[in-house]
């Protein structure tokens, strides 16, 4: 590497036709996923989940319980993978790190005055440094949507670059909060800014704003990743977050991922689901595939 | 992008896309071993006493045998239609006519799955398309024209529109049931009676429609559906007691029809071949445009008269478009049309497959660069890989003649004027596509392109309210919408 990227003019990012992109996204939902393809897809989904708790009322106890679940999703079903990461606030990183020791599950921390991002840059940097020094393997930052909507793309770019610098070895996920950007054109522009500024992941949403992840928005971001890969040869990971709670929806996302970016992205290094309730629905479907009958929700833990 | 360009060989890999089989059940489709002619409300044996087989092009297995109507059978059908017109249908209050058409529409919806399955078995198109596109559009067409039946005075104010009489209708094999709907629905709504002949390779859904028409208690003779090949069609065209010929099919046969009706007072609409230009400008939404290219040429195996078979790409985005297009083609699933995941199904007939291969060979001989999807094809049945030719010149036969298969001819252009000239430089003029983010450019092109249907930032979209038809050798007359009513009325 070492080659410098030529930074494009973000005022002229590619345009998106909203009807076309929504049609394409809905086409993926027409794929019929059955039998072993379904079971493999469901297990892969579990392995791609960032199990998340981001509440004001989070405590050490809550985080520890969630961490146990992350590594022991459903021990009644042998051979299940763990989730990819547990995603918490910076104050909970140390607790999660200790609880997950030896499990292979990463600790992801939101940072940069999540979820609004309305704080001075030095505060955001300190927030990030705190998370990383407590052991966060991944940092989920938010962009300054206000500045972005004002057209101050350099501000947004520089902020991402500054956070990336203090991440060290931690991988940086850049949350665009697409529900506040509203149009696909803006989602595309923000995706490009984030990738060129050093994002390892681009992520749709905080989960605090509606709408959160949708298939068309995710497709726009996947296509931005594809263009970036075409131009630079560098892979960027994707994380839709919020609103994906059913297995069927998760499988549709995997179909979209596979048919847009190909097999290299089909693992948890390059794709994540930011979700808290998805795991249990996937477990329920896996048990259904294994035993032929649906089990009551009482059989699946609610951590 | 600067030095990073050395990485430009990085390729996306799609080799592992391999979904477990997800076949649609055939149990909903009841296909009889033999079908007779639907004349005067009853299924009757053909006086020719002859039957021919219709096969599943994906497996080459026989599905059923179908009556071969001769001139005497055609005459019987026309007489039935004439009697029904004179005695019943032309005298019936328009709102009563509408009730029958609504009923047919609802019955099609109720049996949508059966229609979709049979359409796919008999014609080879993917079940996803017959289920999500063909059959819903068929029902919509009947619903739409049912609504017009008692409002013709408002459609043509102060013109006192009058029905024509008996309409002879001949339809192709690419959208068998949809074309039947395009023909029958406006004819009935305007008070005409019908003798319809489906194509010989795809007669089954029209015969299923005949069953529905029988169950709907439509007065006998209002719709007659007879099967056969070219000779049967010629007998319809030449029958002296037919007032209107509506034909969808090849330009070659369209010309024969035009000659045959010359000197008669038959009204004619012809919807014929095409070689549409699909034009991608540098400011287009490229990812969606690539999807539009795919929908334009690989929809229904390219058996679409309005297919976007000539692709024009502005030179400044040519490399990007080609790279994305090839990656997209790599994800197309070709195979069993009954599998819900199939994107490209079977070629409709052996004969058509040979025609397509003939053109692919012509393209190779012309020295064009060929790119084919690398997918595996089923061992049995008629299949063709999605194919494209690049470096195509305006003078190449691949760019001039209708192939009617999944074969795309790609040309480049530099300026708006150049592409307008090239797009119009064809004997056809059925459809075109324009892809740009700039509204004024769209309107500039739509006023200058000589094509009946022009899509902007989309392709192959159909709606009962929208007129459809061609310029030049793509035919004349319009079907669909308000215009489609006019074709069945004296105004």
Residue indicated by tokens 């918490």: A88
How close does chain A come to B174, measured CA to CA in Å?
A: 22
Residues B266-289, mean pLDDT to the nearest whole number: 98
Angle at which helix A215-232 crosses helix A18-28, to 10 degrees, equals 100
List the domains of chain A with CATH numbers. 17-289 (3.20.20.70)
Among partner residues A30, A37, A223, which is closest to B287 by beta-carbon distance?
A223
What percentage of chain B carries pLDDT values higher than 90? 96
Q: CA B290 to CA A259: how far, in whole Å?
A: 14
Separation of alpha carbons A113 and B467, rounded Å: 56
Residues in Cβ contact with A260 at an 8 Å cutoff, skipping those fewer than 6 apart: A219, A222, A223, A226
C-alpha to C-alpha distance for A206 and B143, rounded to whole angstroms: 45
What DSSP designation does A269 have? T
> Is residue B153 within 8 angstroms of chain A, CB to CB?
no
pLDDT, one tens digit per residue, over B114-165 is 999 999 999 999 999 999 999 999 999 999 999 999 999 999 999 999 999 9
| Residue range B417-458, pLDDT digits in tens | 999 999 999 999 999 999 999 999 999 999 999 999 999 999
Backbone angles phi, psi at B489, to 5 degrees: -135, 150
Structure tokens at B299: 């929809």
Helices B112-123 and B94-110 meet at what angle, rounded to 10?
70
Instruction: Evaluate whether B477 touches B487 at the Cβ level (below 8 Å).
Output: yes
Matching residue, tokens 């192939």 = B403
Q: What is the pLDDT of residue B28?
A: 87
Q: Do A32 and B19 touch (CB under 8 A)?
A: yes
Tell me how far apart the alpha carbons of residues B104 and B117 are, in angstroms, rounded to a whole number.
19
Q: Taking CB atoms and an 8 Å cutoff, what residues of chain A touch B13?
A: 262-264
Interface test with B, best of A39, A233, A256, A264 (most B CBs within 10 A): A233
Q: Do A258 and B17 touch (CB under 8 A)?
A: yes
CB pairs under 8 A between A and B: 106
Interchain pair A5, B20: CB under 8 A: no
Biggest CA-to-CA distance, chain A:
56
Mean pLDDT, chain B, rounded, equals 96
| B331: contact with A, CB 8 A cutoff | yes
CB proximity list for B430: less than 8 A, separation 6 or greater: B271, B272, B273, B274, B276, B305, B306, B451, B452, B453, B469, B470, B471, B474, B475
Domains of chain B: 34-272+471-490 (3.40.605.10), 274-456 (3.40.309.10)
What's the rounded Cα separation, in Å, for the pair B409 and B431?
A: 16
Span B66-112, pLDDT tens digits? 999 999 999 999 999 999 999 999 999 999 999 999 999 999 999 99
* Contact call for B1 and A34, based on CB within 8 A: no
Nearest CA in chain A to B129: A30
- Tens of pLDDT along B221-242? 999 999 999 999 999 999 999 9
Q: Write out pLDDT tens, residues B157-195.
A: 999 999 999 999 999 999 999 999 999 999 999 999 999
Chain A residue nearest residue B23, CA to CA: A32
Catalytically annotated residues of B: 271, 305
Residue among A14, A32, A196, A234 with most chain B CBs within 10 A, to mutate: A32
Residues 6+ apart with CB under 8 A from A46: A73, A80, A81, A82, A83, A279, A282, A283
Distance from CA of B24 to the nearest CA of A (A): 10
Q: Is the pLDDT of residue B321 over 80?
A: yes
Q: Which residues contact A176 (CB under 8 A, 6 or more apart)?
A: A143, A187, A190, A191, A194, A202, A203, A204, A205, A221
Q: B21 vs A36: CB contact, 8 Å cut-off? A: no
Each residue's pLDDT tens digit, B479-491: 999 999 999 999 9
Q: How far is B123 from chain A (nearest CA, A)?
A: 21
| B3 touches A: beta carbon within 8 Å | yes
Are A262 and B3 an interchain contact pair (Cβ–Cβ within 8 Å)? no
Range 240-259 of B in CB contact (< 8 A) with A: none
| Cβ–Cβ < 8 Å for B409, B389 | yes
CA distance B353 to chain A (A): 27
Q: Quick one: three-class SS letters along chain B?
A: CHHHHHHHHCCCCCCCCCCCCCECCCCCCCCCCEECEEECCEEECCCCCCEEEEEECCCCEEEEEEECCCHHHHHHHHHHHHHHHHHHHCCCCHHHHHHHHHHHHHHHHHCHHHHHHHHHHHHCCCHHHHHHHHHHHHHHHHHHHHHHHHHHHHHCCCCCCEECCEEEEECCCCCHHHHHHHHHHHHHHCCCEEEEECCCCCCHHHHHHHHHHHHCCCCCCCEEECCCCHHHHHHHHHCCCCCEEEEECCHHHHHHHHHHHCCCCCEEEEECCCCCEEEECCCCCHHHHHHHHHHHHCHHHHCCCCCCCEEEEEHHHHHHHHHHHHHHHHCCCECCCCECCCCECCCCCHHHHHHHHHHHHHHHHCCCEEEECCCCCCCCCCCCCCEEEECCCCCCHHHHCCCCCCEEEEEEECCHHHHHHHHHCCCCCCEEEEECCCHHHHHHHHHHCCCCEEEECCCCCCCCCCCECCCHHHEECCECHHHHHHCCEEC
Min Cα separation A260/chain B (Å): 8
Question: Within 10 Å of residue B263's Cβ, how many Cβ atoms?
Answer: 7
Residue where the block lists tokens 């001039």: B400
pTM above 0.80, yes or no: yes
Paired residues of B35 in beta bridges: B66
> For residues B219 and B87, is the Cβ–Cβ distance under 8 A?
no
Residue B144: HSE in the Cβ half-sphere, 13 Å Cα cutoff: 25
Contact A296, A46 (CB under 8 A): no
B340 in A contact zone (CB under 8 Å) = yes
**Is A239 among the catalytic positions?**
yes
Sign of CA dihedral B408, B414, B416, B419: negative
A151: helix, strand or coil:
coil
Cis preceding-peptide flag for A211 (omega within 30 of 0): yes
Q: Going residue by residue through chain A (303 aa), what tens digit of pLDDT does each one get?
A: 445 678 999 999 999 999 999 999 999 999 999 999 999 999 999 999 999 999 999 999 999 999 999 999 999 999 999 999 999 999 999 999 999 999 999 999 999 999 999 999 999 999 999 999 999 999 999 999 999 999 999 999 999 999 999 999 999 999 999 999 999 999 999 999 999 999 999 999 999 999 999 999 999 999 999 999 999 999 999 999 999 999 999 999 999 999 999 999 999 999 999 998 999 999 999 999 999 999 999 999 987
Compute the half-sphere exposure of residue B321: CA atoms within 13 Å on the CB side of its CA.
30
Binding-face residues of B in 69-128 toward A, CB within 8 A: 128
Mutate to test the interface with B, among A13, A195, A218, A230 (most CBs of B within 10 A): A230
Residues 6+ apart with CB under 8 A from B146: B98, B99, B101, B102, B105, B185, B189
What is chain A's length?
A: 303
Minimal CA separation from A247 to chain B, in Å: 17
Q: In a mutagenesis test of the A interface, which of B2, B3, B16, B19 is the best target, namely the one with the most A β-carbons within 10 Å?
A: B19
Interface contact B20-A31, CB threshold 8 A: no
User: Rounded to an integer, what distance in angstroms lies between the CA atom of residue B280 and that of residue B277?
Assistant: 10
Q: How far apart are alpha carbons B266 and B253 in whole angstroms? A: 17
Is residue B158 classed exposed, middle or buried when 0-12, 13-18 and 19+ CB atoms within 10 A define those classes? exposed
**Distance, CA of A254 to chain centre:** 13
Residues in B closer than 8 angstroms to A229, CB to CB, are 10, 12
The per-residue pLDDT for A303 is 79
Taking the Cβ of residue B463 and every Cβ of chain A, the question of whether any pair is shorter than 8 Å is answered with no
CB contact under 8 A, B458 and A6: no
Please state the separation of Cα A233 from the chain's center in Å: 21
d(CA B401, CA B359): 9
End-to-end CA distance of chain B: 63
Cα gap A135→A98, rounded to integer Å: 9
């Amino acid at each position: 590497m070492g080659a410098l990227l030529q930074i494009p003019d973000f005022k002229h990012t590619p345009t998106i036709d909203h009807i076309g992109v929504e049609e394409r996204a809905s086409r993926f939902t027409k794929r019929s996923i059955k039998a072993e393809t379904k079971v493999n897809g469901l297990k892969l989904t579990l392995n791609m989940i960032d199990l998340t708790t981001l509440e004001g009322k989070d405590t050490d106890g809550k985080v520890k319980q969630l961490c146990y679940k992350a590594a022991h999703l459903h021990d009644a079903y042998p051979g299940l993978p763990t989730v990819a990461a547990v995603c918490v606030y910076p104050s909970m990183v140390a607790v999660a790190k200790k609880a997950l020791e030896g499990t292979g599950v990463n600790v992801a921390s939101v940072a940069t005055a999540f979820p609004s991002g309305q704080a001075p840059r030095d505060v955001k940097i300190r927030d990030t440094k705190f998370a990383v020094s407590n052991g966060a393997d991944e940092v989920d930052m938010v962009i300054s949507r206000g500045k972005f909507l004002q057209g101050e793309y350099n501000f947004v770019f520089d902020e991402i670059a500054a956070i990336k610098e203090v991440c060290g070895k931690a991988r940086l996920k850049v949350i665009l909060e697409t529900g506040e950007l509203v149009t696909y054109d803006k989602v595309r522009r923000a995706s490009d800014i984030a990738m060129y500024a050093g994002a390892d992941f681009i992520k749709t949403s905080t989960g605090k704003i509606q709408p959160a992840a949708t298939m068309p928005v995710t497709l726009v971001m996947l296509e931005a990743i594809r263009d970036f890969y075409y131009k630079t040869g560098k892979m960027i990971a994707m994380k839709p977050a919020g609103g994906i709670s059913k297995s069927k929806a998760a499988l549709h996302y995997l179909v979209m991922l596979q048919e847009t970016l190909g097999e290299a992205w089909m693992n948890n290094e390059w794709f994540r689901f930011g979700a808290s309730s998805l795991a249990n629905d996937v477990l329920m479907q896996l048990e259904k595939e294994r035993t032929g009958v649906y089990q009551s929700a009482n059989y699946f833990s609610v951590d | 992008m600067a030095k990073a360009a050395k990485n430009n060989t990085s390729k996306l890999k799609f080799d592992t896309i391999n979904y477990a089989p997800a076949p649609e059940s055939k149990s909903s489709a009841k296909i009889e071993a033999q079908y007779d002619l639907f004349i005067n409300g009853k299924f009757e044996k053909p006086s020719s006493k002859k039957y021919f087989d219709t096969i599943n092009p994906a497996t080459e297995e026989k599905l059923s045998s179908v009556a071969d109507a001769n001139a005497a059978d055609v005459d019987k059908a026309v007489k039935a239609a004439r009697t029904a017109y004179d005695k019943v249908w032309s005298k019936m209050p328009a709102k009563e006519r509408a009730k029958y058409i609504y009923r047919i529409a609802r019955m099609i919806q109720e049996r949508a799955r059966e229609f979709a399955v049979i359409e796919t078995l008999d014609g080879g198109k993917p079940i996803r398309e017959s289920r999500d596109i063909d059959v819903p559009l068929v029902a919509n067409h009947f619903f739409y024209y049912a609504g017009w039946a008692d409002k013709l005075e408002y459609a043509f104010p102060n013109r006192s529109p009058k029905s024509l009489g008996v309409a002879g209708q001949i339809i192709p094999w690419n959208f068998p049931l949809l074309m039947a709907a395009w023909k029958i629905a406006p004819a009935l709504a305007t008070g005409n009676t019908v003798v319809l002949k489906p194509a010989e390779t795809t007669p089954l859904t029209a015969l299923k429609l005949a069953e529905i028409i029988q169950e709907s208690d439509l007065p006998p003779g209002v719709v007659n559906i007879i099967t056969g090949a070219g000779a049967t069609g010629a007998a319809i065209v030449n029958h002296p007691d037919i007032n209107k010929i509506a034909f969808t099919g090849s330009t070659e046969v369209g010309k024969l029809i035009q000659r045959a009706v010359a000197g008669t007072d038959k009204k004619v609409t012809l919807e014929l071949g095409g070689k549409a230009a699909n034009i991608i400008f540098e400011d287009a939404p490229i990812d969606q445009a690539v999807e539009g290219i795919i929908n334009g040429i690989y929809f229904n195996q390219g058996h679409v008269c309005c297919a976007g078979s000539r692709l024009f790409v502005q030179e400044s985005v040519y490399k990007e478009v080609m790279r994305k297009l090839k990656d997209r083609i790599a994800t197309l699933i070709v195979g069993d049309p009954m599998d819900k995941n199939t994107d490209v199904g079977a070629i409709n007939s052996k004969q058509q497959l040979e025609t397509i291969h003939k053109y692919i060979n012509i393209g190779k001989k012309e020295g064009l660069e060929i790119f084919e999807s690398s997918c595996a094809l089923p061992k049995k049945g008629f299949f063709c890989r999605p194919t494209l030719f690049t470096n195509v010149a305006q003078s190449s036969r691949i760019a001039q003649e209708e192939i009617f298969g999944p074969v795309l001819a790609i040309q480049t252009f530099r300026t708006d004027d150049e592409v307008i000239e090239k797009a119009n430089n064809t004997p056809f003029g059925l459809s075109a596509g324009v892809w740009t983010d700039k509204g004024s450019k769209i309107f500039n092109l739509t006023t200058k392109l000589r094509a009946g249907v022009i899509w902007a930032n989309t392709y192959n979209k159909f709606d009962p309210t929208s007129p459809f038809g061609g310029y030049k050798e793509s035919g004349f007359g319009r079907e669909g919408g308000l215009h489609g009513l006019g074709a069945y009325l004296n105004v």
